[in-house]
């Protein structure tokens, strides 16, 4: 893989990580007033999939959207401003953390209702196909969406109408040992393997280790060709392992902020995140891989991290300095 692309992957994943860590700080200071959801641990999936998309392809996401918007090219300042409800946010602070979207980046609307975005994504794909366009639509959603009836209705319809739609399902509570596997029934899903389900509808599927950014990128690039050529939808299951800070509705920085030096020695991560850092952290794993292959050295890695941290510091300042929206912002939208 080309080194420029590799460095782009690393930077994007780090950018997401640092923005998400900043959210926890914002929650501690009360800037985020209610519960919220972070993308830590899934950075490789959003980054790899988005890198395979053309800039004008459509993306749909969920309550766990921050990383998807950044991966599609979202400005961290506008993302953070939206997350804390400021006028400088992508939606002027009207949507907030659950609803970050960026119409100018092909992310027109973000639903925080489980399954809420999926049929809308199919509708966008429907419109593209009717107009004989080439734009693809990729819908990120969680394994929880497969508990809702709307998933099955949308899958059926998308296949019947051969819509140019990628169902990108993020199964984010797989154990490290099981990531390469296909799954087993849980208390939420009777299906043995979730990726078997779409096949009953004739939809082609693939599973991928969602902590491997290059694998996700390669897969999505390949399947997009099929989708664009009119062969109908494709279903991906990206398998990741839950970051220890992500349990419950209020994330916690259990091991402090990520120290990029863990890429040199993952075992030096603190107790609360050591096992996860060693086995399941997509950012640290990728930095370690680039070090190992000699694509970068330790000094270059530190420099990239410092650059990204500086960028996210500026973004956070932009967000905090951005004024609260005024009541006039409500006019004309009833």
Partner 1 sequence: MSVEVRAPAATRTLKFAEALAEAVDEICAEDPRVVLIGARFTGHTPSAHVMEPVTRKHASRIVWPPISELAYCGVAVGAALAGLRPIVEMSTATFSYEAVPQIVNEAAVIAAMSGGRVRAPVVFHMLYGIRGGGGPQHSGSPQAWWWNSPGLQVAMPSSPADVKGLLRWAALRSEGPTVFMDHQRLMELEGPVPTGRHEIPFGQADVKRSGGDVTIVATSIQVSRALEAANRLAREDGIEVEVVDPRTLEPLDRATIFASVRKTGRVVVTDESHENAGVASGLAAIIAEECFDALRAPIRRVAIPPTPVPYAESLERALIPDTERLVAAVRALR
Ligand X SMILES: Cc1ncc(C[n+]2csc(CCOP(=O)(O)OP(=O)(O)O)c2C)c(N)n1
- Residue numbers at the binding site for ligand X (CB under 6 A): 37, 63-64, 112-114, 142-145, 172
Radius of gyration for the chain, computed over Cα atoms and rounded to the nearest angstrom:
19
Which residue, 20 or 143, is less far from ligand X as judged by CB? 143
Helix 282-292 / helix 298-321 crossing angle, nearest 10 deg: 150
Do 205 and 193 form a contact (C-beta atoms < 8 A)? Answer: no
Among 77, 142, 245, 251, binds Mg ion (CB under 5 A): 142
67 binds partner 1 (CB under 8 A): no
94 binds partner 1 (CB under 8 A): yes
Give min distance, CB of 241 to Mg ion, in A: 11
Do 205 and 234 form a contact (C-beta atoms < 8 A)? Answer: yes
Do 159 and 232 form a contact (C-beta atoms < 8 A)? Answer: yes
Q: Which of Mg ion, ligand X, partner 1, none binds 111 (CB below 5-8 Å, type-dependent)?
A: partner 1
Q: Which of ligand X, partner 1, Mg ion, none binds 272 (CB below 5-8 Å, type-dependent)?
A: none
Among 55, 177, 249, 294, binds partner 1 (CB under 8 A): 249
CA–CA distance, 138 with 111 (Å, rounded to integer): 15
Q: Is residue 155 within a helix (H) or strand (E), and if so which, with residue range? A: helix 149-160
Q: Could you count the other beta carbons within 10 Å of the beta carbon of residue 4?
A: 8
Give min distance, CB of 302 to partner 1, in A: 36
> Interaction with partner 1 in 140-179: which residues (CB under 8 A)?
144-145, 147-149
321 binds partner 1 (CB under 8 A): no
State how far the alpha carbon of 264 is from the alpha carbons of 142, 277, 299, in Å: 32, 12, 11
Give min distance, CB of 97 to Mg ion, in A: 17
Q: Half-sphere exposure (CA, 13 Å, Cβ side) for 301?
A: 22
Judged by the rule CB under 8 A, the positions of this chain that interact with partner 1 are 32-35, 85-87, 92-99, 111-116, 144-145, 147-149, 187-189, 249, 324-327, 329-330, 333-334
């Amino acid at each position: 893989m080309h080194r420029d692309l590799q460095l782009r992957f690393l930077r994007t994943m780090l950018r997401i990580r640092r923005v998400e860590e900043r959210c926890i700080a914002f929650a501690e200071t009360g800037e985020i007033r209610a519960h919220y959801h972070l993308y830590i641990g899934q950075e490789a999936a959003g980054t790899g999939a988005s890198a395979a998309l053309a800039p004008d392809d459509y993306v749909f996401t969920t309550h766990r959207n921050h990383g998807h918007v950044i991966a599609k090219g979202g400005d961290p300042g506008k993302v953070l401003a939206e997350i804390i409800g400021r006028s400088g946010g992508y939606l002027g602070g009207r949507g907030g953390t659950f609803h970050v979207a960026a119409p100018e980046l092909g992310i027109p609307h973000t639903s925080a209702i489980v399954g809420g975005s999926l049929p809308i994504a199919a509708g966008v794909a429907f419109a593209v196909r009717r107009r004989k366009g080439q734009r693809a639509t990729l819908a990120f959603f969680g394994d929880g969406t497969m508990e809702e009836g709307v998933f099955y209705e949308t899958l059926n319809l998308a296949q019947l109408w051969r819509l140019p739609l990628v169902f990108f399902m993020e199964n984010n509570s797989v154990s490290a040992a099981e990531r390469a596997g296909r799954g087993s029934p849980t208390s939420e899903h009777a299906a043995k393997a979730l990726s078997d389900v779409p096949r009953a509808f004739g939809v082609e599927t693939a599973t991928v280790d969602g902590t491997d950014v290059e694998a996700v990128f390669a897969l999505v690039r390949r399947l997009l060709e099929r989708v664009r050529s009119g062969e109908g939808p494709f279903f991906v299951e990206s398998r990741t392992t839950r970051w220890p800070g992500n349990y419950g509705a209020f994330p916690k920085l259990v091991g402090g902020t990520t120290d990029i030096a863990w890429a040199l020695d993952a075992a030096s991560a603190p107790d609360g995140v050591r096992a996860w850092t060693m086995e399941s952290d997509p950012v640290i794993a990728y930095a370690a891989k680039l070090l190992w292959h000699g694509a970068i050295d330790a000094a270059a890695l530190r420099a990239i991290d410092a650059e990204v941290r500086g960028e996210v510091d500026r973004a956070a300042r932009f967000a905090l300095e951005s004024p609260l929206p005024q009541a006039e912002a409500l006019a004309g939208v009833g």
